[in-house]
Amino acid sequence: MRVRRHAARARMPEQERIAAGRALRDAVLEVPQVEMAGTIAAYYSAGTEPDTRGLIYALWKRGTYVLLPILLPDGDLDWASFEGPDSLQPGPHGLSEPGEPPRGTDAVRRADVVLVPALEVDEAGNRLGRGGGSYDRVLARVAPLIPAIALVYDDELVDAVPAEPHDRPVTHVARPARGVTRLRTG
């Protein structure tokens, strides 16, 4: 499934990916919980993922405290603050990470909203990630009432995603043409 989804994303024209990133930015910024959030845990997109750079910058510019992940050697995620585009540095696997002091793996517990990468999501909130389990650990730390929003392309909300006992669902999905939708878990 991951290979198929990565290939589909690679075939997507660059202009379509850019437009999708803008539409996702606008949709997420209009979510009431996002508008009111003091702290948002996000991720800085890489490769063919839906673009989050504009969204992160817009959140930061309006005064939201944005936490970005730092990939640890064991696959868990530490968190540090985003202090503008110049505060990022190269991380492992082609990722960009904040250069600010790490706040610890539990810093995500203070987030009012968590934005999550995914390759596919189903109506029950199950998500297909990269396979390392990093975000399952993150989502296990997030309180049930905190919105966990997976950002995907329009065709990536699917009927079913395989789930194992350790997998943690998201509560919402954001798609360029459809905006943000609450899932059955939310």
Contacts of 9 (CB under 8 A, 6+ apart): 17, 47, 48, 49, 153
Contacts of 160 (CB under 8 A, 6+ apart): 122, 126
Q: Are 149 and 157 in contact (CB under 8 A)?
A: no
Q: What is the Cα gyration radius of the chain?
A: 15
pLDDT for residue 165: 82
Question: With the C-alpha atoms ordered 118, 166, 65, 46, is the resulting torsion angle positive or negative?
Answer: negative
The CATH number fitting domain 2-182, selected from 3.30.365.10, 3.30.920.30, 3.40.50.10420, 1.20.120.1200:
3.40.50.10420
Q: Are 85 and 61 in contact (CB under 8 A)?
A: no
pLDDT for residue 93: 83
* Residue 183: count of CB within 10 angstroms of its CB: 21
User: 10: buried, middle or exposed (CB in 10 Å: 19+, 13-18, 0-12)?
Assistant: exposed
Cβ burial 28-38 (10 Å sphere, 16+ → b, else e): beebebbeebe
pLDDT for residue 116: 97
pLDDT for residue 87: 93
Give tens-digit pLDDT for 138-172.
Answer: 999 999 899 999 999 999 999 999 888 888 899 99
User: What tokens does 4 get?
Assistant: 């198929």
pLDDT at 186 over 70: no
Tell me the pLDDT band of 185, cut-offs 50, 70 and 90: low
pLDDT at 54 over 80: yes
Give tens-digit pLDDT for 4-33.
Answer: 888 899 999 999 999 999 999 999 999 999
Give tens-digit pLDDT for 81-126.
Answer: 999 999 999 988 888 999 999 999 999 999 999 999 999 999 999 9
Can you tell me the distance from the alpha carbon of 149 to that of 140, in angstroms, rounded to the nearest whole number? Answer: 14
